Structure 1
Amino acid sequence: MKKTIAVYPGSFDPLTIGHEDIVRRIVRLVDHLIVAVAETATQPKSGLFPIDERVELIRSAFADEPRVEATSFCGLLVDFARARKARIIVRGLRAVSDFEYEFQMALMNRSLWPEVEVLFMAPATRHTFLSSSLVREVGRLGGDVTDFVSPVVKARMDRAFERPATD
């Protein structure tokens, strides 16, 4: 029997509890999930963490789940997925506003590699408003992000913003 491999790509800057929710739900459906940090942004963003640190944070967050792998990639997502034998691409949709862009990307990826399937996942209702950009901005402005990221990510954010960590 073939192993079901999926790729969940993104910037994950920072990894939010919304991302974690999707990873933990997807891993129940596949044999192996690759959380892939894109080295090339598809949208202009001001980053907080370098790529290798994002990968490390993902590994820390899912240290208890051996079926989750964290890595980075550059170039076309479908080329990365094909090279890793992943026939499923997972994308999170928080709102209708995400759908148009994600739908266009899904169609382009299917044009480039017809065998790939794109699976859209809605986060748990309590996480629908979360985005890395929003969490990053709240943190940058001194707001408390405790409810939006795991403790390990919060500690790294505090260090990045040069604030003492809180309990």
Structure 2
Amino acid sequence: MTARADNGRLTAICPGAYDPVTLGHVDVIRRAAAIFDRVVVGVVRDPHHKQTTFSIEERVAFLEEALRPFSNVEVDVFSELVVDFARRHEAKTMVKGLRVIADFEWEFQMNRLNQMLAPEIETMYVMASPQYSFISSSGVKEIASFGGKVNELVPEAVARRFAELFPDGRPGAPVSPQE
């Protein structure tokens, strides 16, 4: 059975909060774009399990800029069940990245729930590339908030925005030596 939508194109979604998008996210989306005719990156408007650092507009803009090289990738916002988002885009496949065991445990639970709600939608897991397997959005935010450089972890626009938000790190952060 293929994941071809009624329009004949093989479509997948890559859902997430993307707060912020990391180079690990971009790698997973790039790899999905090489498999599917069309990839819709779904940005959850208000994730219930965490408060976002960046507005929905910023998160979408970061993704659109980072994903510009991929002509078969588009970005959309959702605030419904992820399976309903997939149905709205006629996607039969969700692509999710896995980095560590904790990711697997969470994704295993979500997969079972999603299968119960929408047995026609499969989830495909892409293992993080080794150079990105340690990167998480929360880790990047922590580093940036203390004034650390995140240029090698996130797209350029995200790194610039962090530098604006935390030019000298947050109060209580170690002070870097003056050059």
- TM class by shorter chain equals over 0.9
Deviation string 1:36-88 (CA, Å, 9 cap, x unpaired) is 111131422x4221011101110001112111101110020001110110111
Q: Pick the aligned partner of 1:119 from 120, 124, 137.
A: 124
Q: Which residue of 2 aligns with 1:142?
A: 147
Query: 1:48 aligns to what SS in structure 2?
Result: coil
CA distance in 1, matches of 2:164, 2:12: 32
Structure 1 residue 162, shift from structure 2 partner? 4.5
1:1-167 to 2 correspondences below 5 Å: 2-44=8-50, 46-162=51-167
Deviation string 1:101-143 (CA, Å, 9 cap, x unpaired) is 1011011111111100101111110111110010011101111
TM-score, length of structure 1 as denominator length: 0.92
Q: Higher relative contact order at CA 8 Å, sep ≥6: structure 1 or structure 2?
A: 1
TM-score, length of structure 2 as denominator length: 0.86
Runs of 4+ in 1 over 4 A off after TM superposition: none
Query: Percent same amino acid among aligned pairs?
Result: 36
Q: CA RMSD in A?
A: 1.3
Q: Would the aligned equivalents of 1:6 and 1:33 in 2 still touch at CA under 8 Å?
A: yes
Query: 2:123 aligns to what SS in structure 1?
Result: strand
CA distance in 1, matches of 2:122, 2:23: 25
CA distance in 1, matches of 2:166, 2:77: 24
Could you list the runs of 5+ residues in structure 1 that have no partner in the other structure?
Answer: none
The structure with more radius of gyration: 2
Task: Please identify, of 135-144 and 151-160, the stretch whose mean Cα deviation from structure 2 is larger.
Answer: 151-160
